[in-house]
């Protein structure tokens, strides 16, 4: 996943986050730092190439200041009318700040020759100077672009150094440096070459950080094979950089704009970079600046940044920025740490002055303390436990000169049924241990790039236990290691023993794995069961399997498809296909994916998801048949479940169905966008989904009564 973007304008619903202390830099005491400032721009459109600010209390969760609007006019500080790639640095003596930016408006093309230097005493008011390289230095008169400047203090020279990439005709981008004059308005001399890619490919977006006496230069390179974010290391700031082999970015996607900062009170560093083709940002963590792990699941932003940098700030600096650049959606409360709260689903509505805290089943809300977390200098009252059983409780949130009263509601919310990002839920009741088992896609990974499957168990469909990973493509599957999606499961009793057959999507093929326990571990068969599309099918994908045992014939059928619905009969071994049984059953043009088949009162029900999982309009439809092989009869009104805009429940789709054993009692298990952040995520909401369960009911004629998605979910089964 990449980062959890929470973009929304004035009515943005603020995600709450946990708080930790911050890191320190530039020789100041750790205790002086309580927050981070993120400087960034937002894109290539009108008004987007401008400096913006965001703040964070922990280096992981960021909130835009100034309603995500520029903090200074690009027209006033640039030749082109646009600025990009802002880099901010505190002066070594703590007396002020420097910022450098690329002077470029992309709508005029990607050729530029200037950068802007800015100085400030307070990070609120800035003075600026423009350096046009060809105009200033004739030896660089043919320079075609001057990109991504950054500033660092050279302790040996006792000067500030600006470094940036330049491109000249017939060459490739190289990184140059020059010292800046005392008032930070110009360069002391012509730029000198600092680093070039030994593979003679571009090196741009340089970012230098010092660790253990060595200088680490992170840079982006390009090429057909060797591309991405790399690092070069030197004992000297201005020379001797040796490129390390391999990449430090953790994605195969196109990336740029790396930024590194150290977390205070920690030996860990964050390396972030712009996955610009996807419109997302990825965060990784390292203690040695060589080996990085993705920490995207811990990251959130209520804005979409492009190439920016992060600097630690003090309480005083934070309060100054909050006063100068207030945001309508930043109310001062930044977390609630009570363990009963489903933290992904907290809702703050600043325009309505309300806070909604969903809590787990069994929570005593008559004596409940949210344990609010706040930004520095913010006070919340009343303190301690309150009685929420009779409705909202009024809280005063004071941010210095202003106090606002918020109505805080605490309510039991059984949806989502498990915390975290999961999708494409399959559910079974296991006769072996008399429990329900949930088998979802592990979600929250950018572009559905998860590689493992988990299961959860429950005796009542409300209280779930995480049983851990049951199949890991990278460890357990020999024929692929990517895109673990949409599993389906069946319990079979063979020769007096229970066996579990787990069909799953991987690399747009369908595999099968077997276990003696519904908890796994599962052993893969060694090859995909479905790898080719049905004859005559051109588009779509071989994904989203559904296994179904016909209670009337005892035969077992596997359904699957995206853009088409196919079915085959399985042999008795459950791991091979009966020859000449493949059939295409695509219901109509609304069929997208996520087939689910079940049997009730002599009827076969076929459900499927319509639209795209990234769309708020993702929904479930159904048809009926007298046979597991059709033909299908599609009711005139055949919606099973769809979004509820008033409840802010969106993209309700890709479901399974469970019947309580021995009863005509049914439940729909489905996924939805994560709430409330999903609506603001754009397409990223399509891989940040949550699993919910609601009751499924039928009319006397067997037609399905449309399910209304809820926050409350269902009551525990007896």
Question: Taking the C-alpha atoms of 284, 288, 289 and 295 in order, what is their torsion angle to the nearest 10 degrees?
Answer: 0
State the Cα–Cα distance between residues 707 and 640, nearest whole angstrom.
Answer: 6
Task: Answer yes or no: are the C-beta atoms of 354 and 333 closer than 8 Å.
Answer: no
Closest CA to 412 of 362, 374, 446: 362
Which residue is listed with tokens 């200037």?
A: 114
Task: Answer yes or no: are the C-beta atoms of 627 and 634 closer than 8 Å.
Answer: no
Integer-rounded Cα radius of gyration of the chain: 28
Task: Answer yes or no: are the C-beta atoms of 282 and 43 closer than 8 Å.
Answer: no
DSSP secondary structure letter of residue 717: P
Spatial neighbors of 149 by CB under 8 A, at least 6 apart, are 85, 87, 100, 101, 102, 115, 162, 163, 164
Q: What are phi and psi of 465, to 5 degrees?
A: -110, 130
Is residue 593 annotated as a catalytic residue, yes or no?
yes
State the Cα–Cα distance between residues 165 and 173, nearest whole angstrom.
Answer: 6
State the Cα–Cα distance between residues 227 and 222, nearest whole angstrom.
Answer: 4
Closest CA to 417 of 132, 96, 689: 689
Q: Is 350 left (phi over 0), alpha (psi -120 to 50) or beta?
A: alpha
The residues pairing with 453 across neighbouring beta strands, listed in sequence order, are 441, 471
Burial 520-529 (b: 16+ CB within 10 A, else e): bebebbeebb
**DSSP strands (E only) in 346-421:** 347-349, 354-359, 372-374, 378-381, 393-399, 402-412
Neighbours of 49 (CB within 10 A): 27
Of the listed 205, 274, 329, 424, which one is catalytic? 424
Is residue 154 annotated as a catalytic residue, yes or no?
no
Query: Which SS3 state, helix, strand or coil, does residue 594 take?
Result: strand
Q: Is 382 left (phi over 0), alpha (psi -120 to 50) or beta?
A: beta
Spatial neighbors of 475 by CB under 8 A, at least 6 apart, are none
**DSSP strands (E only) in 45-191:** 52-56, 61-64, 83-90, 97-103, 114-120, 127-132, 145-154, 159-167, 174-179
Of the listed 173, 524, 546, 593, which one is catalytic? 593
State the Cα–Cα distance between residues 310 and 326, nearest whole angstrom.
Answer: 19
Which residues are tagged catalytic? Answer: 424, 593
């Amino acid at each position: 996943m990449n980062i959890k973007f929470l973009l929304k304008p004035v009515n943005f619903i603020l995600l709450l986050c946990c708080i930790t202390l911050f890191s320190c830099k530039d020789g100041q005491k750790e205790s002086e730092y309580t927050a981070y400032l993120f400087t960034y721009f937002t894109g290539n459109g009108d008004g987007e190439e401008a400096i913006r600010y965001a703040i964070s209390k922990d280096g992981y969760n960021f909130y835009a200041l100034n309603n995500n609007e520029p903090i200074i006019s690009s027209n006033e500080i640039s030749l082109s009318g646009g600025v990009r790639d802002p880099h901010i640095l505190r002066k070594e003596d703590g007396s002020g700040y420097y910022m450098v930016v690329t002077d470029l408006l992309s709508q005029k093309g990607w050729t530029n020759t200037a950068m802007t230097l800015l100085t400030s005493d307070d990070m609120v008011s800035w003075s600026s100077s423009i350096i046009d390289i060809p105009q200033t230095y004739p030896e660089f008169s043919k320079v075609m672009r001057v990109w991504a400047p950054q500033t660092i203090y050279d302790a040996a020279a006792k000067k500030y150094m600006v470094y940036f990439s330049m491109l000249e005709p017939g060459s490739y981008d190289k990184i140059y440096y020059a010292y800046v004059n005392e008032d930070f308005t110009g360069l002391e001399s012509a730029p000198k070459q600092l680093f070039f890619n030994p593979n003679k490919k571009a090196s741009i977006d340089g970012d230098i950080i010092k660790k253990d006496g060595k200088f680490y230069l992170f840079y982006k390179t390009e090429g057909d094979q060797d591309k991405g974010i790399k690092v070069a290391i030197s004992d000297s700031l201005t020379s001797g950089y040796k490129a390390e082999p391999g990449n430090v970015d953790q994605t195969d996607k196109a990336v740029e704009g790396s930024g590194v900062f150290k977390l205070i009170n920690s030996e860990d560093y964050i390396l972030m970079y712009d996955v610009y083709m996807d419109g997302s940002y990825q965060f990784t963590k390292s203690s040695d600046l060589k080996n990085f792990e993705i920490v995207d699941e811990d990251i959130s932003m209520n804005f979409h940044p492009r190439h920016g940098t992060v600097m630690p700030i003090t309480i005083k600096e934070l309060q100054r920025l909050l006063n100068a650049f207030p945001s309508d959606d930043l109310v001062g409360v930044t977390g609630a740490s009570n363990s009963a709260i489903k933290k992904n689903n907290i809702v703050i509505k600043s325009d309505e002055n309300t806070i909604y805290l969903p809590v787990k089943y069994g929570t005593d809300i008559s004596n409940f303390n949210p344990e609010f977390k706040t930004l520095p200098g913010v006070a919340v009252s009343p303190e301690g436990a309150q009685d929420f059983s009779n409705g909202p409780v009024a809280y005063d949130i004071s941010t210095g000169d202003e106090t606002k009263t918020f109505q805080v509601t605490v309510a039991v919310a059984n949806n989502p049924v498990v915390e975290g990002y999961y999708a494409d839920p399959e559910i079974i009741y296991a006769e072996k241990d008399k429990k329900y088992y949930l088998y979802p896609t592990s979600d929250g990974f950018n572009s559905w790039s998860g590689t493992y499957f988990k299961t959860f168990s429950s005796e009542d469909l409300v209280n779930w236990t995480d049983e851990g990973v049951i199949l890991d493509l990278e460890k357990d599957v020999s024929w692929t290691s990517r895109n673990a999606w949409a599993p389906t499961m069946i319990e079979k009793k063979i020769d007096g023993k229970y066996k579990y057959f787990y069909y799953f999507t991987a690399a747009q093929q369908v595999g099968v794995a077997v276990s003696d326990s519904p908890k796994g571990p599962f052993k893969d068969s060694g090859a995909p069961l479905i790898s080719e599309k049905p004859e005559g099918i051109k588009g779509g994908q071989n994904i989203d399997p559904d296994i179904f045992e016909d209670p009337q014939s005892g035969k077992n059928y596997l359904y699957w498809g995206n853009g088409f619905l196919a079915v085959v009969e399985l042999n008795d071994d459950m791991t091979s296909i009966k020859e000449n049984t493949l059939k295409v059953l695509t219901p109509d043009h609304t069929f997208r994916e996520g087939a689910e088949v079940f049997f009730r009162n002599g009827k076969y029900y076929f459900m499927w998801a319509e639209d795209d999982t990234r769309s708020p309009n993702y929904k479930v439809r159904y048809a009926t048949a007298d046979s597991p092989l059709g033909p299908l009869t599609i009711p005139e009104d055949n919606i099973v479940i769809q979004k509820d805009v008033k409840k802010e429940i969106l993209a309700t789709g890709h479901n399974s169905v469970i019947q309580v054993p021995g009863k005509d009692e049914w439940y729909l298990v489905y996924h939805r966008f994560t709430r409330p952040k999903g609506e603001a995520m754009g397409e990223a909401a399509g891989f940040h989904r949550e699993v919910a369960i609601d009751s499924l009911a039928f009319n006397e004629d067997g037609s399905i009564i449309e399910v209304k998605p809820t926050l409350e979910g269902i009551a525990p089964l007896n």
